[in-house]
Structure 1
Amino acid sequence: MSRPQKTFRAIEIGDGDDRWAAHAQALWPRAEEWLTEESRTAEGAARARVLFATHMPELVPVLERLARRLDRPGGETFLTLATLRPFFSGCTQIGVGGTLLRNYDFAPDDCEGTVVSSHLLRPVIGMQEGAWGLLDGMNDAGLAVSLTFGGRFVHGPGFALPIVLRYLLETCDTVDEAVGALRSLPIAIPQNVTLVDSEKAVTVFVGPDMPLTGAPDACAANHQHLPVPDDQERFSRTQERLSAVRAAGGDVAAMLKPPLYQYAYDEGLGTLYTAHYRPAEGRVTYHWPDESWDQSFAAFAPGSRVIALGRAG
């Protein structure tokens, strides 16, 4: 059986050029599918704008500039990432020794696969989703963050977490600052966030039906403070993966092997990439079983790679 392939791209964007616009316009047909019926109405668009301005005022000028460059009906509403259809993924992550290590598990065709070095409010590098949101990333202050799905299929008013990670990296310097900001942000679906700086590593649980809750340690798979139903556990193996990532303790090689590395691409739970952030050094390496890709603030290299996912043979 042939291995699925995915193209990953690395792009550099600033606040004064049109490189972002060209990339986002190419993504728009896919992005538009994320919009809900509510977000396509004037009332829904207004609510999304108010929510964004209330909770992320520092990013409002950036939102306006990007929306003008995207230049698509409904573009600004989409970019708030506040009225989108929920998405549920896999993933495993750990913060240890000043590093953040994560596997991102999802359907290959439904992940943007774009590594972005941006300078919107400050230098940030991360794996982009939702045109300017982030699945994981780091900033020039030495803070790194990453998300996983929290395992509960509930949905409420609030933000998709990729825009929240973008906000944290654009406005916070430390884990404590970021956790403080997270406490006041409405989150649309249950998610787990792992945060790392040079002094601390933590994981917190967030969601539309619960206050921010600290995890026992800086590890996360796809459940929160309660176990998931038995059939969901058999499918996702979230408890098994959490135990495995704890035992691995930041070992990249372990992330590239089962049970942490998953092959269920047809079910939307295959591992698309492993990211290893060293935020104090401003460096990240994206790993696959057959190759790796280094990026950093000091030497960011735009380009693309076609990756054969999974294992050979």
Structure 2
Amino acid sequence: MALEKTFRAVAVGDGGDGRWAAAAGAAWPEAEKWLTDEGRTAAGADAARRLFDTRLPELVPVLERLAAQLDRGRLGETFLTQAAFRPFFAGCTQAAFDGVLLRNYDFPPEEVEGTFVSSNFLRPVIGSQDGMWGLLDGMNDAGLAVSLTFGGRLVHGPGFAVLIVVRYLLETCDTVDEALAALRRTPVALAQNLTLVDRERAVTVHLGPDVEPTEAEGGALACAANHQHLPVPEEQERVTNTGERLAAVRAVAESGDPGAVRRALLRPPLYRYGHEDAGGTVYTAEYRPAEGRVTYRWPGEEPWELSFDAFAEGSRTVTLGRRS
């Protein structure tokens, strides 16, 4: 079953001139449901803010600027720390090599913000926004790109939603090595896989509240789906086909041809249908961070390219699940 979704490209500057607040205010009624019950208490808010101040100190001025713009008091500030979020689990397949990162984001479409944002909080960053300032994937002006997937293990512990971790890496790191060092001191609440690429290196790293950051094997290729350890349990594979997807994307990535990976991501088994159920593929992104540009794609639709040099605000309604 196909359905329509509208995506927007929005430039928010440093977050202090009202542009970010206009979009955030509209998203707030749905977004604030992500907060845990504990996060709504004074003790929970204090703990979230302490964790943010201690582990993401460079972003503290941005947090305070955005919280003032959001104007939702302590609850808004706690939300923006992303240190008191309910668990959420996405799909996704991704591959990175030779300075290119390609990914599918799989999730229930109605729960995806659908905002491609250009910001300059600490530095120029472009990415797919969720959680009001977190990122599902993105790139910065230094030529670093980062993308997330769910790690497939149902564990939950103290730490940040991975959305704000992606934002933090892109705001503060120039290279993959710097990002890996930052991940070693940044607690993540759920099992997550991050794929990182710069001009010199690509790597997938497995994260979780119960494990140390671990680089996945893959040589010059960095590929990820929705598991961290093998073998994948039979029930998990039946529901998510994560093993099949990882094998498929790795096989095509070994060709070294980004075009071949791009085409594979737009068809099964990497492109996932069933958008009306657990959530199919919401978009395909191809980041070329050294060139400062990203292209979003959907089967049967015109691609949408955005860049640091040419970020044109606007909106586009696409049909998800179209069979091209």
Under TM normalisation by the shorter chain, which class is it?
Answer: over 0.9
Structure 2 unmatched runs, 5+: none
Deviations 1:285-306 (A, max 9, x none): 0010122100000000110011
Hey, what does 2:242 align to over in structure 1? 238
Q: Which amino acid aligns with 2:237?
A: E
Query: Aligned Cα RMSD in Å?
Result: 1.0
Distance, in Å, in 1 between the alignment partners of 2:174 and 2:17 is: 26
Q: Do residues 180 (structure 1) and 184 (structure 2) align?
A: no
Cα distance between partner residues in 2 of 1:228 and 1:150: 11
Query: Whole-Å Cα distance in 2 between the matches of residues 46 and 267 of structure 1?
Result: 37
Q: CA deviation at 1:4?
A: 1.1
- Aligned pairs for 1:110-189 (under 5 A) are 110-189=111-190
8 A Cα contact 2:4 2:317, kept in partner: yes
CA contact (8 A) 1:11 1:116 kept: yes
1:44 is displaced (CA, Å) by 0.2
Partner of 1:277 in structure 2? 287
CA distance in 1, matches of 2:232, 2:85: 24
Shift of 1:193: 0.4
Q: Deviations over 1:6-53 (max 9, x none)?
A: 110000011241000010000001111101100000000000000000
Identity of aligned residues (%): 67
Give the one of 303, 309, 312 matched to 2:320.
Answer: 309
Tell me what 1:253 maps to: 263
- Tell me whether 1:52 sits opposite 2:52 in the alignment: yes
The 2-side partners of 1:292 and 1:82 are apart by 35
1:229 Cα offset (Å): 1.9
Q: How many residues align?
A: 312
Distance 2:280 2:195 in 1: 21
Give the AA of the match of 2:283: Y
Mapped to 1, the partners of 2:4 and 2:263 lie a distance apart of: 21
Structure-1 residue corresponding to 2:84: 83
C-alpha separation between the residues in 2 aligned to 1:146 and 1:94? 9
Contact 1:151 1:228 survives alignment (8 Å): no
Asked if residue 224 in structure 1 is aligned to residue 228 in structure 2, the reply is yes
Paired with 1:82 and 1:307, the residues of 2 have a C-alpha distance of: 33
Structure 1: 5+ residue stretches without partners: none
Query: Taking structure 1 as the reference length, what is the TM-score of the superposition?
Result: 0.98
Question: Which amino acid letter does the alignment assign opposite residue 84 of structure 1?
Answer: F
| Deviation readout 1:224-276 (Å, 9 max, x if unpaired) | 02333211111100000001111221321111000000002233230000000
User: Given that residues 109 and 279 in structure 2 are in contact (C-alpha distance below 8 angstroms), is that contact kept between their aligned partners in structure 1?
Assistant: no
Q: What does residue 303 of structure 2 align with?
A: 292
TM-score under structure 2 length normalisation: 0.95
Encode CA deviations 1:125-158: one digit per residue, 9 max, x unaligned.
0000100000000000000000000001111010
